[in-house]
Amino acid sequence: MRIGGDGPLRKYLEKLCQQLGIKNQVKFLGQLTREQVLAEIRRCDSFVLPSLHETFGVVLIEALAYGKPVIATMCGGPEEIVNLTNGLLVPPGDEVALGRAMLQMLDSIRSYDRMSIRQQCLKLYGEAAVVGRLQKIYERV
């Protein structure tokens, strides 16, 4: 598992990994540039965004655009993006549910159709879709 980002819980999580005996299975990447984030998304099998609050979740769209199934929390924006064909949703702050979702993803990763995930993402959030929706709004105004 690779964890990107750097925040107040990092030291706690590193210590927890040590206590659980999984230190060698988890790599903390620290703060990442945009290019590094995209490189990490390209190399992953699935993407997890356990936010407590999220207004939209651009990084979810980026992962889906690469055909990656996702796990996210029901914290505002992800509910509008994640569905049964592209990932799993869990309550925010529920570590047990998040862990179960990660195990479920591990067991069912092959059942996700990566090309379908990518195509659906581009259909809903690609440049043509977004520009088309904005154009209609501007025409109404």
Q: Detail the DSSP E strand segments found in 79-120.
A: 87-90
pLDDT tens for the chain, residues 1 to 141: 999 998 899 999 999 999 999 999 999 999 999 999 999 999 999 999 999 998 888 999 999 999 999 999 999 999 999 999 999 999 999 999 999 999 999 999 999 999 999 999 999 999 888 888 898 899 998
With b for 16 or more beta-carbon neighbours within 10 A and e for fewer, the 26-54 pattern comes to eebeeeeeeeebbebbeeeebbbbbbeeb
* pTM attached to this predicted model: 0.87
Say what the alpha-carbon torsion angle 118, 121, 122, 123 is, to the nearest 10 degrees: 120
